[in-house]
Amino acid sequence: MSLHQDKDEADFTHPIVSFSLGLPTIFDFGGATRDAPKIAVYLEHGDVLVWGGRSRLNYHGVRRIKSGVHPLLGPYRYNLTFRRSQP
């Protein structure tokens, strides 16, 4: 998933919580603009990322997932992302 912001919510005071399951990937965490420098974070099964506050609207994304087989989940990577949304 290319660099993007999660900004569909009306209230950005709550953090984003992201759970990684299955195959590993690299998560790119950037800044307030798309061209800001990025930090590469290696994510493995069971890793959790939480960001909020001033970084809540930072650009972020994951790189292409390499082929492989996870011992519990097979050839897949799952990501569960939680954000507080309001109707």
70 is in an annotated binding site: no
11 is in an annotated binding site: no
60 is in an annotated binding site: yes
The stretches of the chain forming alpha helices (DSSP H) are: none
Q: Which two tokens stand for residue 25?
A: 């990937």
How far apart are alpha carbons 20 and 44 in whole angstroms? Answer: 7
Strands (E), the chain: 16-22, 25-29, 39-43, 48-51, 60-62, 77-82
Binding positions for Fe cation: 4, 6, 60
Q: Which residue ranges make up the annotated binding site?
A: 4, 6, 60
